[in-house]
Structure 1
C-alpha cells in the first residue's frame, strides 16, 4: 500500500522525476496515452561555474574556449562518426590551438579492443571486497592502462544498472543494488581513474536497468515490434534515495563525464530529459563536467542541447549513417538562433574543465591502437578505408597489474558455506575438479567476439564492457599446478555432460571434489543460448544444478565454486550434507585460477561479502524484468512500483528469509562484536541553498557571415561518413539535415530554454554532489571487533541505520570497513554518520529532511547479523 500511496503523492505534488515535453516528432505517437508517466520541464540548462575544487580547471577552460571559433567548439561536442577514427568514440580536434582529438574508450574492466592490456575483475566482484582501498587501486590501474594507450576518457565506472532485478544483463559491470556500496565503489573508482590522468565517465544515467527493449532497432532485430526505447517510470523519492544516490557520490568525487542512457525516463529519452540533466544532475547535484550520450542514444538536435546534453557519441544518428543531430546541424542552430551561443560555450567549457582537471595538457601522446583491427598497419579512418598508416603500436600497458588482479580476485571471493572446516585445503590426497567452468574456451580466451559465448571458465562477461584477455589462468591450470606441487593425485573432467566419466572419477575413495559452475550475461546486442543480454532466469547454465547434485550424490566432500554475474538459485543442493563448501567467485578477470586457488588453500583468508541477496526463488526479489512489450508498438512501460525496496530491502519488508543475506560472508576464523558507542558533533541546522547564479558567460563572438562556415574545399580531403561542423551551402534551411532546424525556437522549445540570465539556485544544491551540509558528520559510531579464532583474518563490520518511519526500509547500509585483525586481537570499527545518511527526500519541499522518527544504528557482520544497536539521540 505504501508504494502506491508514495507514487500517488509524488504525482499529486508534481514531484515525479521530470523531463521536458517530448520532441514534436514523438508527441503524436503518445497523444492518446494519457496514463503514461511524464515529467515537467527544467530550463535553461545550468552553466558550469567552477564550484567545489573545479575553479582552476574551469578558469583554464574558459580561457581556452574564449580563443575557439564556433566550429571548433562544435567539433569537440560532436563525435566524428562510428569507425571514423581509432577509438570507439572520438571527437574532432582543434589543431589551430594544439588540442588533439579526444579518445573515448570502453571498458569498465580494461581497455577494450586492443592488445597488451589487462583484464580486471568486474565492478560487482570488487564490490564484494568491501574494501575502499581496492576500489581505488583498481581504478588507478585501469586508468594507467587507458592513459598508456592514449585514451582521454575511460567509459566507466558503472552505477546504472544498479541492479534493480538480479537478472539484469549488465549488473556485473556495476557494483551492487545497495546505493551506498555502489556509490562508494563509483566514487573511489572515479578517483583512481582520474588520478591516472584519464577522465572517468560514470554511466548509464539513469534507470537503465535491463537490456530488453533498450533500443528499438536492436529489439526489432530480435523480433520485437516496438518503435521506442522502454520508459523507466520512477517516482521522485525513489530517484533520490536509490538511483541518483551513487551518481551524487561520483559528482562529489569530481567525475569529469556522465553518460546518459538509452532508455526513457518517465517517457522522455534520458539524453533529452531536462529535469534529469538540467534539474537533477546540473542543478541539484552541481555537476561541473559534461554529459555524453550513449552510442546513438541521442534522439533530437536542438531539444537535446537545450535539455542538457553536451556531447553526442559516436556522432552519427545511427552507426555509419553519415548524418548527425549536431555537427553541421548544431552550427545551423546557433546561426539561426535556435541554440544560444552561451549553451555551446558551456558545452565546450564543461568538456575542457574535465580535461584540465585530470591534468591533461596540449602535448598528450597520440592514440597508439585501433578499435577496429589488431593489424599493425591499416586505415586510421576505418569506415572510409582512408589514411593508411601504422595504427597499432602494440604498447604493453599492463605493468605489474596482474598481482593486483589476483589479489582482488581472491579478496572478492565470498565463502558462503564451510562445513566442519572443509576449507582451507591442505595437501588433499586426491582432488577431482569437475565442470566446464574450470577449463578453457577451446577457441581461446578471446575466441568469441566481445566474449559473446559461455565456453570454459567465466573470467569476463559479454558486451562493450569486455576487453581482450592477455591470457586467462583457468582454475584447472592453477589447481593442477598446486596439486602436483603438493603430491596430490589430480584429475579433472571439463565436460558437464560427461556423466559416466564424472561418476567414475568422483566415486573413488578419498576424493575431494570441486565442482565449477557458472552463469553468464551481458549487453543486449548479443544473444547467448537464448539470453538476450539479460538472463532469462536465475538458474545455473549448462545443467550446473544437475552436475552438482550428481557429484554430491557420490562424493561426501563436494566443494562448489560459482562464477556468475549475480545471484543464482541454490535451493536444490546448498543444504546437502555432501556439499561441504560453497564459494562465489564472481567475474574475476585474467587471474581467475590463481585467485580461487589462493582462497581454497588458505593463502588468503576469505573476508568478502556478497554484494547482493541470494533468494530461494526469483519471486523473492519482487522487481522482475520486462521480457514482453506491454504498450503495443510504443515504448514499453516499466513502472518501478517497488520504490526503494529492491534486494535486501525487499526481503526485509516482506519478511522473507534469504538463503544468503546481503553482506554475508564467512572466514577461516571467527569474530565477535561488542561495546558499541555513539558520539555527536553538534552540527548547525541544515540550510537550503538560496540566491541566484551569475548570468551565462558568452566566451567570444561568432561570425554571422554564413560563407565563413562552408567546408574548406582544398584545405584537406573530405572523409567519407566523417561528421564535420561545416556547411555545404549558405542556405541554412537546406544545410540542415532535418526540418526542425528550419523552425524558430519558439515553435518547439519550452519557455526559458534559451534564457541565459541569472537563475535561482536549487535549494537542495549548492556544490558538487548537492548541498555541502549533507556531508556534515552528525554522529560517530564505534564498536569493538575481536578475532576469537586461531588464525589471522579480515572482517567487514557493517553499519546499518533504521530511519524509523513505517514507510522506510527496515534498515539501510550506511558504512563499512575491511579490517585486518590478528588471532586473539581486537580492533575498533569506526563509522561516521552524515546528515545525508539519516535524511529522507521530501517531495513537497524538494529537499532532504530528517524526520521525527527515532533513528537506530546497528553494527554487525551482515544485513541479518547485527548484534549491536544504539539509538541516535
Structure 2
C-alpha cells in the first residue's frame, strides 16, 4: 500500500465520498441498510428482500443478495469504490481506509475537515513493538476502532481498514520498516493478532464463542498486508512494481508467511492484502497457491482478499507477466482467489472477461459472497446499536492521548548510560541545550500513514522535544542542521555554542521520511550528511552531560557515538507519535524508567556491502560471502543486537521448576524423518517427526523469578529463546518463542509463568518447508544468556 490511483479516479472518489455511506442522490446519512423506514422512504418493499431478513444467516443473506444482481451490477462492486445497487437499496461504499497507528486520510474512505479535524496519533508500529507489551498493542487497537466507529457515525469513515502492515523487516535498508513490528516473525505475528483483535473484536463475541466465525460480529474490519515476501520498494532502480522475490519454500514458511498465518488463524483477521511483487515468477495477486490454497483453504480465512492498489495494472504494465491483456489478467486473479481490486481493473474488465469465457460468473459470485458477509458482520446491514452513541467526544479523548504517550514511553530504548548519568537530575534553574535536526520535530514524529503529513488535519496535539524538555528546564534551542540531510555545517556553530553553556545537552538526530519511506529504500545505514560532525563537535564542546536521541525506524550505525566517552547516554525513540517529545523528556529526566527493547538488529555500516537488498536469502552463504539476516541467522558483529535495552535499575533472573526432558512414544502413523547434520555429529536414530503428525498439544511450563535489585521501580521484558540441537545444518541459531513485559517495584521480585507448546517452541522448518520437531538436546535461553537450560527430546 499504496500506489496512488490514477489522478482522475482519485479526485472523483474524494469528491464522491464527502459523505461515506449515502443513498444515491440524497447524500443523507443513515444508520444501517436494512432499516425498514429507509426502505419505505426509498419506495421499496423490504419484506421482499431476504437479504434483509435478520433471522437468516449472513451466508444465506449474502447469497440471496448476490443472486439478485445482474453481471453488470456485480462487477461494479468489485473495486475499492463499490457503486451500490440503487434498485435494491444497496448504497455505495468505499472500502479503502487506513489505521496503521491511528486513523489516516490515506485512502478516500476517511477524511477530516473542520467538523472532524483530527484523531489520536500513536507511535509508529516499530516503536510500539519495542514495548514488547501485548496488552498495549491490543489496547491501542481498541482505542483506534472506537475513534473509527465515531467517525463512521459522523459520516467521515467507512468500517474497513487496510491495516496493519506485518511484513518482516528482513534488511535495515528497507524503507517501510517504520510500518512494521520488526524482524522476528513470531513477534510480528503476535503484534498482528493482538492489534487485529483490538480493532475487530466486539466485547463478548471473541472467536472461541462462535462455531461459525463468519457470523462473528466485527467492530471494524482489519487487513493484514502485504502478502508475501514483500520488502523491496525502490533500491538502485529496482522497484516493487517489477521486483521478483526469489525465495525458498523454507523461508516462506518459516519467516515471510508466518506472521500472516498467525494473523489469520490466531487473530481471525477479516482481510488479507496481496502485494505488488512477484514471488518466484508469479505475481502475488495471481498466485493460486498463495491465495486460494494457503490463505483461504489451509489457514481458513473468514473474510476477503484484496489487492494492493492497482496491483492488477502493475501485473500487466510493470511485470508484463505472460504479456496478458486486461481481461485475461483479471480472470487469472479472480481464479487465484483475489476478491477485491483496489483500483478500477475489476470494475472495468471483469464483465467482458466473463462474457468472453475467460472466467466463470461463479468466481465473481464467490468473491461478492465474502465481501457482503464482512459488511454484514460489521453491522452495515443491521446496525451495531452498542456503538450508536459514539461521536466527536470519543475522538482525541484524554485517555487516548495518554495512551499515545504511554506507548511512546514504553517503546523508547535506552542504548547507552555510562556511569548511570541518566536520569538527569531535575534541578531548579537547570539550563538545557536541545540541539539537532529533530530537536523541534513535530510531523516527523508521526511517520507515514498519518493525516498530518498530508496537511488535511492535525493530531489532537503535538508535544515536540522542545516542548517536552521545556517542562524540565530553561531550553536553548539550535537546530545544527537545516534538515536531516544536513548537507552543510553552517548551523553547527550555534549548536556548539549552546552546548558550551548548558548544564546538560540533548542532541536529537536521526533520519526521516526523506531517507526511509514507502517507495524509498536506503543505500546505507549511516547518519546522513554532516550529522556525525554535528554530534561530535557538540559533544566535544559540551559543558555538561551529553545525551543523544536517535529517531529512525531502521537501525543506524552510530558506533562512533557508542564509543565516544563524551556522549554519555543514547536513546532510540523510533518515530514516537504526537506525544513523543514529552515521552522522550520524561525518560531522560527519570519520570519514566525505560524498558523498551530493540525489535531489530542494528548492524555495522559495512553490512550493506556484503549482500544486496534484492537477495531474500536469510541464511548465510559462504560461497557468495553473504552474511545471515536477522538475529536468527546472523552471528557477526553488531552495533546493538536484537532485544537490547537498558534500564535505570537492575534485574536478575532465577529459573524455577523447568522440565529437563520430554519423550514421545510413536504410533504406526508417525514416521521418523531425516535431517542433515554437520560432519562429526552423532545423528539420533529418529532425527525428527513432522509436527502435523504429532498433533502436538503438550506444553512445557516453568517460572522465572524476576528480581529488581535496584532502587527504582521498573519494567523488564523477559525474552525466552529456544536453540535447536547442535549439529543440525541450515537451521536458526536461536528463535524467540515467548516474551512478557513485567513491572517490578524496587527491591522486590515477581514470578512470571510461561507455558510453551512443545512443537511451536522447539520445532524447526526443514529445507523443504516442512515443520518438524527434532529429537536431541534443545536449549532454552532466557534473555542474554542469563539462564541456559537444556531439554532432552527423545522418540521411542
1:139 corresponds to 2:141:
yes
Moved more, 679-688 or 534-543: 679-688
1:437 touches 1:518 (CA, 8 Å); kept in 2?
yes
1:90 corresponds to 2:81:
yes
2:451 touches 2:458 (CA, 8 Å); kept in 1?
no
Q: Partners of 2:620 and 2:55 in 1: how far apart?
A: 38
1:240 corresponds to 2:164:
no
Query: Which residue does the alignment assign to 2:228?
Result: 206
1:500 corresponds to 2:489:
no
> Mind listing any 5+ residue stretches in structure 1 that lack a counterpart?
1-55, 82-88, 214-218, 317-323, 369-392, 446-456, 484-488, 522-526, 627-637, 690-763
Query: Which residue does the alignment assign to 2:679?
Result: none
Query: Which residue does the alignment assign to 1:304?
Result: 333
RMSD over equivalenced CA pairs, Å: 3.6
The alignment of Structure 1 onto Structure 2 pairs a total of residues equal to 649
Q: Is the partner of 2:472 in helix, strand or coil? A: helix
1:649 touches 1:811 (CA, 8 Å); kept in 2?
no
User: What do residues 690-728 of structure 1 show as CA deviations (whole Å, max 9, x unaligned)?
Assistant: xxxxxxxxxxxxxxxxxxxxxxxxxxxxxxxxxxxxxxx
User: Displacement of 1:72 after TM fit?
Assistant: 6.7
User: What do residues 618-645 of structure 1 show as CA deviations (whole Å, max 9, x unaligned)?
Assistant: 417965424xxxxxxxxxxx55364899
Question: After the TM superposition, which residues 531-570 of structure 1 pair with which residues of structure 2 at under 5 Å, given as runs?
Answer: 533-541=520-528, 543-555=530-542, 557-570=545-558
Change (3 A) 1:647 1:119: farther
User: What do residues 739-791 of structure 1 show as CA deviations (whole Å, max 9, x unaligned)?
Assistant: xxxxxxxxxxxxxxxxxxxxxxxxx99xxxx9798773431232211111112
User: Displacement of 1:358 after TM fit?
Assistant: 4.9
> Mind listing any 5+ residue stretches in structure 2 that lack a counterpart?
1-53, 106-111, 153-157, 203-218, 316-328, 482-488, 671-688
User: What do residues 593-649 of structure 1 show as CA deviations (whole Å, max 9, x unaligned)?
Assistant: 1111221122211111010111222417965424xxxxxxxxxxx553648999986
User: Displacement of 1:399 after TM fit?
Assistant: 2.7
Query: Which residue does the alignment assign to 2:748?
Result: 825
1:210 touches 1:534 (CA, 8 Å); kept in 2?
yes
Question: After the TM superposition, which residues 694-709 of structure 1 pair with which residues of structure 2 at under 5 Å, given as runs?
Answer: none
Q: Is the partner of 1:855 in helix, strand or coil? A: strand
2:146 touches 2:394 (CA, 8 Å); kept in 1?
no
Query: Which residue does the alignment assign to 1:481?
Result: 471
User: What do residues 435-466 of structure 1 show as CA deviations (whole Å, max 9, x unaligned)?
Assistant: 1201156xxx4xxxxxxxxxxx5332478996
1:640 corresponds to 2:617:
yes
1:104 touches 1:153 (CA, 8 Å); kept in 2?
yes
1:280 corresponds to 2:294:
yes
Q: Is the partner of 1:830 in helix, strand or coil? A: strand
Query: Which residue does the alignment assign to 1:354?
Result: 374
Query: Which residue does the alignment assign to 1:674?
Result: 654
User: Displacement of 1:134 after TM fit?
Assistant: 0.6
Change (3 A) 1:192 1:801: same
User: Displacement of 1:62 after TM fit?
Assistant: 3.3
Query: Which residue does the alignment assign to 1:515?
Result: 507
1:74 touches 1:330 (CA, 8 Å); kept in 2?
no
User: Displacement of 1:284 after TM fit?
Assistant: 2.1
Query: Which residue does the alignment assign to 2:440?
Result: 439
Q: Partners of 1:286 and 1:643 in 2: how far apart?
A: 34
Q: Partners of 1:819 and 1:260 in 2: how far apart?
A: 36
Query: Which residue does the alignment assign to 1:179?
Result: 185
Change (3 A) 1:80 1:279: closer
Change (3 A) 1:793 1:591: same
Change (3 A) 1:108 1:653: closer
Question: After the TM superposition, which residues 106-505 of structure 1 pair with which residues of structure 2 at under 5 Å, given as runs?
Answer: 106-113=98-105, 114=112, 115-150=117-152, 151-160=158-167, 162-195=168-201, 197-212=219-234, 229-252=242-265, 253-298=267-312, 299=315, 300-314=329-343, 316=344, 324=345, 326-327=346-347, 329-335=349-355, 337-358=357-378, 360-363=380-383, 397-400=395-398, 401-428=400-427, 429-440=430-441, 445=443, 457-461=444-448, 468-470=457-459, 471-483=461-473, 489-496=474-481, 497=489, 498-505=491-498
Q: Partners of 1:79 and 1:463 in 2: how far apart?
A: 28
Q: Is the partner of 1:663 in helix, strand or coil? A: coil
Q: Partners of 1:77 and 1:413 in 2: how far apart?
A: 48
2:225 touches 2:274 (CA, 8 Å); kept in 1?
yes
Change (3 A) 1:301 1:212: same
Query: Which residue does the alignment assign to 1:631?
Result: none
Change (3 A) 1:651 1:838: closer
Greater RCO (Cα-Cα under 8 Å, separation 6 or more): 1
1:859 touches 1:868 (CA, 8 Å); kept in 2?
yes
Q: Partners of 2:711 and 2:243 in 1: how far apart?
A: 54
Q: Partners of 1:686 and 1:824 in 2: how far apart?
A: 51
Query: Which residue does the alignment assign to 2:604?
Result: 616
Change (3 A) 1:778 1:356: farther
